[in-house]
Amino acid sequence: MNKTKILLNGLIKENPTFVLLLGMCPTLGTTTSASGGLGMGLSTLFVLICSNVAISMAKNIIPDKVRIPAFIVIIATFVTILQLCMQAYLPDLYETLGLFIPLIVVNCILLGRAEAFAAKHTPGDAFFDGLGIGLGFTVALTLLGCVREFLGTGHIFGLPVYPEEYGSLIFILAPGAFIALGFLIAIIHTIKTR
């Protein structure tokens, strides 16, 4: 299978946030700032690549009837490794993302890719699928984070663009997340169907 095609499939055609609408909990929870979204996206990218490759390599020794628990154990292992390393070497980022890191285990994007792609393809293809979907998720979260941070506080990546008083608080809160996401999906859909 063509590697570029797999990569672009994850990034654009089946973008997990803008097209499949998967993993909404971390999407809405961590995107109050651009850096939060970027951090969450990269964490998911790392776990997704590792779990995709591991599951693809182990697919022949996993009997069909117990594949879900096997996948979950593999995903949870990588999430915990990530959590421990982040706590040790990036304590500041860990503080902002905190609760959302362990929740990557139950992110349906990971189990979905394991089931739909990794369990049926070679480790090489699974790697590129993980990379594509992971990058798609990262780009989407960063974009959403930028929009919310800009409209809510007047900053982008913590750099002031306009005074904070003119920001509208709703974009930092949960309703604003839905509104911003809805508009982003509409804009992207319009561009794609042109």
Q: Which residues sit at the interface with other proteins, rule CB under 8 A?
A: 32, 58-66, 69-70, 73-74, 76-77, 80-81, 84-85, 87-89, 91, 152-153, 169, 172-173
Please provide the DSSP assignment of 23-55 as one string. Answer: -HHHHHHHTTSHHHHHHHHHHHHHHHHHHHHHH
Q: Which of 62, 188 has the CB closer to other proteins? A: 62
Closest separation in Å from C-beta 140 to other proteins: 20
Q: Which of 71, 127 has the CB closer to other proteins? A: 71
Closest separation in Å from C-beta 84 to other proteins: 4
Closest separation in Å from C-beta 192 to other proteins: 32
Closest separation in Å from C-beta 30 to other proteins: 11
DSSP summary character for residue 172: T
- Give the span between the Cα atoms of 129 and 115, in whole angstroms: 12
Q: Which of 7, 58 has the CB closer to other proteins? A: 58
Closest by Cα among 140, 135, 114, 109 to 23: 109
Q: Which of 91, 163 has the CB closer to other proteins? A: 91
Closest separation in Å from C-beta 79 to other proteins: 10
E strand or H helix at 156: strand 155-156
Using only C-alpha atoms, what is the Rg of the chain? Answer: 17
Q: Which of 132, 148 has the CB closer to other proteins? A: 148
Angle at 49 between CA 59 and CA 39, to 5 degrees: 150
- Give the span between the Cα atoms of 43 and 38, in whole angstroms: 9
